[in-house]
Every structure is written in C-alpha cells, then in structure tokens.
A and B are shown apart, each in its own frame.
Chain A
Amino acid sequence: MSIHKQKNLRMLAVALLAMGVTMSAAQADDDRDERYGWRLGEKSAGKYGGENRGKPLQPAQTNAKFQKECSDCHIAYAPGLLPAESWRKVMAGLDKHFGTDASLDAQDNKEITAFLVNNASNRWSAPTAPLKITETAWFKRKHDAREINPAVWKNPLVKSPANCAACHPQAERGDFSERNIKMPK
C-alpha cells in the first residue's frame, strides 16, 4: 500500500469517527433532562405524569398520504407527539378541526388514522388524550417560562405555539433536538 493510500484511509477513518460522535450527540441531547429525571426516581412515576411524547417521534417508514394531506395547512405533526387515542379523536373530528373544515374522504381518513395510531407515542401512560399537542404535559414543561422567554411567543414570526417550525426548522422530520433549535430574531 502506498503512503498516499494509507493517508487517504486514515482521513476516512477520522471522518467516520467524527460522524459517529456527532450522531450520538444529536440523539443524546433531546433527552438530557429525562436522564436527569430518571436519577431522581421520576421514571417510575411516569415522566411528565405519564404524558410523554414517543421515541422515535417519526417512524423510519413514513406514509405518503399522511405527509401530503397533513401538510396542506400546517406541518405534518409527527405521530409520536400524541397518544393513539388523541389521534383517533383528531381524525374523527376533521370537519371541525381547530376552527376549520379539514375533512378527508373516508378511505384517506382510514389510512392516515391507521398510520397515526400505529406510530403514536409509545411512552404515554396517562389515561388522557388531549387534542392539542400544546396541552400535553411534556410540551408545557419543555416550553415553560424557565425554558422559553415569554416574549418569544409574541414574536409575529412565531404567531402560535402550534407553529413548531418557527424554532424547530427540522420539525417536519420529527427532529426537535435542542442543537437544531433556531429562535427567530
């Protein structure tokens, strides 16, 4: 093997290692306070009173109909953000969907409901089923005044706490990791 080739191989190895390190960091920071809570014994009680979003938020295999139909008016909120019963209720009430008619034909509704229910939060143990992601305990804790300056919510670029992508540009892909947060100026 020539010196030149060896050098190339070494560079490749360094690059691969570096990628590995960044990836594990990306997976880690989202759950930083979870691990902290676990040490305090919160895990047994159910983090966020049992109202925790799922992991992963978005399955590896998404559904084309869900992606298309649910992103006409807003981002397609990842199924893991709510428990199965919430999605059943949302999908059964699409004709009165937060003040607008978002109804689908029966076949599309059935397919999207199945996708949402099958990939709903797998860490939700409370008997609750809120319609709004912003009403879940995990959301409220992650966005309380300790975490987010209340002035942020008044920024016209944010407009509403339902507008995830205002600060989480990768929200559509189910990526809400802290390192990818970008607060609008």
Chain B
Amino acid sequence: MFRISYILGLVFVAGLAAQPAFAETPNEILASIQKEAAGTPGFQGFSVARGESFFKTKHGGEWSCASCHTENPVALGKHAKTGKVIDPLAPSANAERFTNPKKVDKWFKRNCNDVLNRVCTPQEKGDMLAYLLTVKK
C-alpha cells in the first residue's frame, strides 16, 4: 500500500512538472486590472465592444494595436517596423498570453506609449483584455 501511494505521488509530481509554468490565468490578470479600475471614480465594469474599438482604432499616432497584431487577434501578427512575426495575442490562439504579470506590464507600457503616447488607464486595459478573451479561434 505504501508503495502504491509512493508511486502515485511520484506520478503526481511529474505531472505537475510537465505543466507549463504559467503563473496566472488571463482571467486572474483581468481580475487584478479590475481591482485597479474599481478605484477610479465612475467605474462601471469592462466593455468588450469598447475594447474591440480601442484595439482597432488609432489614437492620434501612426499605429493602432492592430497595426502589428492585425485586426484578427487569433492570427499571426507582424511588427510594423521590423517585420518580425508576432505570435497571436488572443489567449484562445496562444495559451501563453496574459499569464505572466511582468510580461503583461512590460508590453502594456511599451505598446500604450507607442500607440497613445501615454500609459493606458486600467479601464482601457480591462476593456481590451475583455475583448481579447471573447475572440475565438
């Protein structure tokens, strides 16, 4: 009996190790953005439609989010300047997306600066992630 539970234990540990090391799920990331947004006056939740239009519209600059990620976030993107292929942004097409808070912060900072010339508000980030989570492969 002892031996069987020992083996089962080993199998369980090996199974855990085989899982990709995603620190968080996209929904957990969305929840933490929501926590941040809830502190802003007049916050009434996120909107998928607003997120989609935010994603596809230019905001005074040369690029929109879609300039690199394309209008279809389950498709491969292409860096507008270097032409380098970008993996799909929607979690349904790319399980790695929005699972690493440090990476999410890094790219929101960079890309909001490139597209809007400022940081994005928690409302904008949440709307956009809510939209991306609805896009099916």
| Interface of A: prevailing SS | loop
Partner of B110, one of A98, A99, A101, A160: A101
- CB-based A-B contact count at 8 angstroms: 32
Asked whether any CB of chain A lies closer than 8 Å to the CB of B109, the reply is yes
Residues of B within 8 A of A104 (CB): 106
The residues of A that contact B114 with a CB separation of less than 8 Å are: 100-101
In the assembled complex, B82 has its CB within 8 A of some CB on chain A? yes
Beyond A100-B114, A101-B114, whether A73 also contacts B81 by CB under 8 A is yes
Q: Does A143 contact B (CB under 8 A)?
A: no
Check A98 against B109 for contact (C-beta < 8 Å): no
Q: Which residues of B contact A159 (CB under 8 A)?
A: 82-83
Distance of B79 from chain A, by nearest CB (Å): 5
A100 to B117, CA, bound (A): 10
What separation, in Å, do the CA atoms of A12 and B84 have in the docked complex? 42
Q: Does A105 contact B (CB under 8 A)?
A: yes
With most chain B CB atoms within 10 A of its CB, the pick from A95, A98, A100 is A100
Q: CB within 8 A of A103: which of B82, B83, B84, B110?
A: B110
Bound: A95/B114 CA distance, A? 10
Task: Tell me, yes or no, whether A102 is within 8 Å of chain B by CB.
Answer: yes
CA distance A103 to B79 in the complex (A): 16
A residues near B110, Cβ cutoff 8 Å: 100-103
Residue of chain A at shortest CB distance from B83: A159
CA of A163 to CA of B83, assembled, Å: 9
Contact across chains for B106 and A73 when beta carbons are under 8 A apart: no
B113 within 8 A of A: yes
Q: For B113, what are the chain A residues with a Cβ–Cβ distance below 8 Å?
A: 95, 101
A101 to B111, CA, bound (A): 7
B81 in contact with A100 (CB, 8 Å):
yes
A11 within 8 A of partner (CB): no
A35 within 8 A of B: no
A74 interface residue (CB < 8 Å to B): yes
* In contact, A74 and B82 (Cβ under 8 angstroms): yes
Chain B residue numbers with a CB within 8 Å of A126 are none
Whole-angstrom distance between the alpha carbons of A74 and B79 in the complex?
9
Would A73 and B109 count as touching, CB distance under 8 A? no
Given A100-B114, A101-B113, do A74 and B106 touch, yes or no (CB 8 Å)?
no
- Measured between alpha carbons, how far is A103 from B102 in the docked complex, in Å? 13
How many Å lie between the Cα of A160 and that of B111 in the bound state?
A: 22
- Report Cα–Cα, A104/B105, bound state, in Å: 10
Q: Enumerate chain A residues within 8 angstroms of B84, measured Cβ to Cβ.
A: 72-74
In the assembled complex, the Cα of A162 lies from the Cα of B83 at a distance in Å of 11
Give every chain B residue within 8 A of A101 (Cβ-Cβ).
Answer: 109-111, 113-114
Q: Name the residue of chain A whose CB is nearest to the CB of B79.
A: A73
Chain B residues in 8 Å Cβ range of A95? 113
Could you tell me the distance in whole angstroms from the C-beta of B43 to the nearest C-beta in chain A? 27
The reply to whether B81 and A163 contact each other, CB–CB distance below 8 Å, is: no
Q: Is the Cβ of B106 less than 8 Å from the Cβ of A160?
A: no
Query: 4 additional contacts, CB 8 Å, given A101-B113, A162-B82?
Result: A73-B79, A104-B106, A105-B106, A159-B82
